[in-house]
Each structure stands twice: as C-alpha cells, then as structure tokens.
C-alpha cells in the first residue's frame, strides 16, 4: 500500500512540475511577443549611455495587432492589460467600432517619475497626430494633465493600421521626445 501511495505521490509531483514548466513557457512566449512590439519613451530625460537621468516620466508603448488574437486563443497566460487591449477588436460599442475601423490598438502604459504634464493628444505616430477620436479608453480609465510623481495608468489608442507594417521602424513622439518602435517581421 505504501508503495502505491509513494508511486502516486511521485506521479503527481511530476505532473505538477510539468504543469509549472508549461505555464512558465507560455509566459515566456507572451513576454517575447510583447517585447518585440514595444518601445519605451522617456519624457524630458537626459541619457548617459544606457542610464536615464532626470526623466519626468516614461511610457511603454505596445502595438497590439489583430493577429495577436490567434495567439491569445491558444495561450491565455498574458497580462490582463493585453487581453483588455485586444478586446477592443471585438467591441460591441458602436463608437468603439467606428474608432477601430482600419486601426490597430496601441497600449500606452505610463508612469510619472516626477510631476509631469502628460497629454495623450501630444502623441504622434510617424506624422499621424492623436486626437480625442483615437482614444479607446474611457476618461475615467486613465489620467492625463498634471500628474503627481508615482502616478501610473494605461490608455488604449486606435491608430491607423497602415502605419504598422512588418519589419518597419515607426517613430513615436510625445511632444519633443521620441522613440523608434522596431516592428517584427511577422
């Protein structure tokens, strides 16, 4: 009897370890996907090699193309903000549907390091300026204007799909600051 219980316990431990390894691999897959589609823009910063000095804030800007929906169907081990962003493609809200026509979702995770006057409408993707009609998030879901140090939020934008082509560099500006988003080949 003890041998059977010991064998059963060993088998359960092996299954648990395999499950943990599988979940860890799924998380790594999403991390790679998000990293390939993200760039960090620092506001009012000075750079010393890779060291960032005196920044007012930063924005991690992530392109969430419709094609990621297939990945999400197979692998749900991603952050909630990714799922929320991808859900805009299936929104039943008429206003959101109108905004999403021929557009991709951009998630902007931002944080004020110091007091920062952050305005979503100051963003540009290439030469395309963001307006209020590009903002998918409800006004209560994000903060802009004068932000206190430590304030962080996320805002979702609808940006024309024609800007985002595989293997292309996209210039993203926030006022005078900018960053290049290197898009993956697929």
Dihedral sign of CA atoms 74, 77, 78, 81 in order = positive
pLDDT at 4: 62
pLDDT tens by residue, 57-87: 999 999 999 999 988 888 888 999 999 999 9
Residue 26, φ and ψ in degrees, nearest 5:
-60, -40
Extract the tokens encoding 25: 């691999």
pLDDT at 43: 92
Low-confidence ranges of the chain (pLDDT < 50): 5, 9, 11-24
Between the alpha carbon of residue 59 and those of residues 54, 112, 115, 131, 185, the distances in Å are: 15, 9, 14, 18, 24
pLDDT at 44: 86
pTM value surpassing 0.85: no
pLDDT at 45: 84
| Domain chopping of the chain, boundaries | 2-182
């Amino acid at each position: 009897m003890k041998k059977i219980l010991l064998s059963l316990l060993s088998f359960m431990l092996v299954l648990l370890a395999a499950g943990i390894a599988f979940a860890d691999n799924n998380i790594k897959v999403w991390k790679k996907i998000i990293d390939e589609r993200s760039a960090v823009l620092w506001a009012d910063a000075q750079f010393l090699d890779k060291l960032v000095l005196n920044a007012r804030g930063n924005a991690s800007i992530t392109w969430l193309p419709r094609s990621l929906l297939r990945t999400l169907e197979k692998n749900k081990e991603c952050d909630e903000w990714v799922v929320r962003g991808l859900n805009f493609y299936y929104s039943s809200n008429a206003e959101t549907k109108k905004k999403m026509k021929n557009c991709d979702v951009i998630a902007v995770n931002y944080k004020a390091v110091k007091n920062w006057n952050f305005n979503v409408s100051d963003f540009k993707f290439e030469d395309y300026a963001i307006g209020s009609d590009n903002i998918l998030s409800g006004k209560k879901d994000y903060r802009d204007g004068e932000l206190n140090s430590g304030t962080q939020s996320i805002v979702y934008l609808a940006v024309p799909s024609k800007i985002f082509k595989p293997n292309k560099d996209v210039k993203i500006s926030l006022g005078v600051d900018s960053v290049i988003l290197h898009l993956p080949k697929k």
